[in-house]
Amino acid sequence: MEANTQPTQAQTGKQDSGLKYVASFALMILLTAVAFAAVAMNIVPQGWVIPLILVLAAVQVFLQLFTFMHLDLKKDAVTVSFMVTGLFIGVVCAVAVAILV
């Protein structure tokens, strides 16, 4: 059997602050409340509701990835490149469907 060779948080000196997680979670709740208010209270003109919700959703995705999924651009370059490629393919498909329909 192999021993666990990965250093612990105490050995590396890096400790994740709980404040970072709480602040990120609070920001995500705020973004959700803004999206809900934009629809429920007719704060935003009808033509801007969907783009606003999509932008707020994109911000939440990045918050999730970098805060809770611990995605690091320097260490996880391959993962990020695959995600960007998938996003690009998704956008191309969505634009193609929008044009064809």
Q: Per-residue pLDDT tens for 28-53?
A: 999 999 999 999 999 999 999 999 99
The chain-wide mean pLDDT, for the chain, equals 85
* Interatomic CA distance for residues 83 and 89, integer angstroms: 10
Task: List the structure tokens of 38.
Answer: 């934009």
- Please state, in angstroms and rounded to a whole number, the distance separating the CA atoms of residues 43 and 10: 48
Give me 34's structure tokens: 């803004």
Task: Write the pLDDT tens digit of every residue in 47-70.
Answer: 999 999 999 999 999 889 888 888
pLDDT reported for residue 39? 92
What pLDDT, on the 0 to 100 scale, is given for residue 12? 54
User: pLDDT band for position 86 (50/70/90)?
Assistant: very high
CA angle 48, 53, 56 (to 5 degrees): 125
82 and 89 in contact (C-beta within 8 Å)?
Answer: no
**Amino acid code (one letter) for 83:** M
Distance (Å, rounded) from C-alpha 74 to C-alpha 9? 19
Chain centre to alpha carbon of residue 47: 24
pTM recorded for the entire structure: 0.65
